[in-house]
Amino acid sequence: MQRTFLLAKIHQCTLTAANLNYVGSISIDELLLASAGILPYEQVQVVNISNGERLITYAIAAPAGSGEIQLNGAAARLGMVGDRLIVMTYGQLSSAELSAFSPTVVLVDDQNRLLQVHRYTDLLEKASVINNVRA
């Protein structure tokens, strides 16, 4: 059986622009994408902390070090400059894959500058406890 797990997230980044006339997606500073392990054109879920909106789109790389987080196309209507966002990716993992897996969390400051990359290494321990309870 495979289950869906959080792979990575960029936590509480700040929306810097919204471009309704762009074809679509979310532009994210390339440094932040690389730090989170999110690939260009990978599906992402975007949660707007400021207004509660959620959307699924794909990430495109903005210039590294620019701090750019821009909603594009129709998604531009779901946020305003200055809104706080969480950008997440998910993946299907088997029980065997859990032993070598831990989600990545990228923390940024108000200008979307990288502060910290955190790995949740306790996922395997939690999964083991859950599996023991079910047994």
**Is pTM beyond 0.75 here?**
yes
pLDDT, one tens digit per residue, over 3-26 is 999 999 999 999 999 999 998 799
Is the confidence at residue 129, as pLDDT, over 80?
Answer: no
Q: Kindly report the number of other CB atoms within 10 A of residue 122's CB atom.
A: 9
Active site residues: 25, 58
pLDDT confidence of residue 49 = 98
CATH number at residue 13: 2.40.40.20
Residues 109 and 115 sit within 8 Å (Cβ to Cβ) = yes
Domain that holds residue 66: 2-134
Domain tally, the chain: 1
Radius of gyration of the chain (CA): 16
Backbone angles phi, psi at 31, to 5 degrees: -65, -40
* Residue that has been written with the tokens 């289950």 in this structure: 3
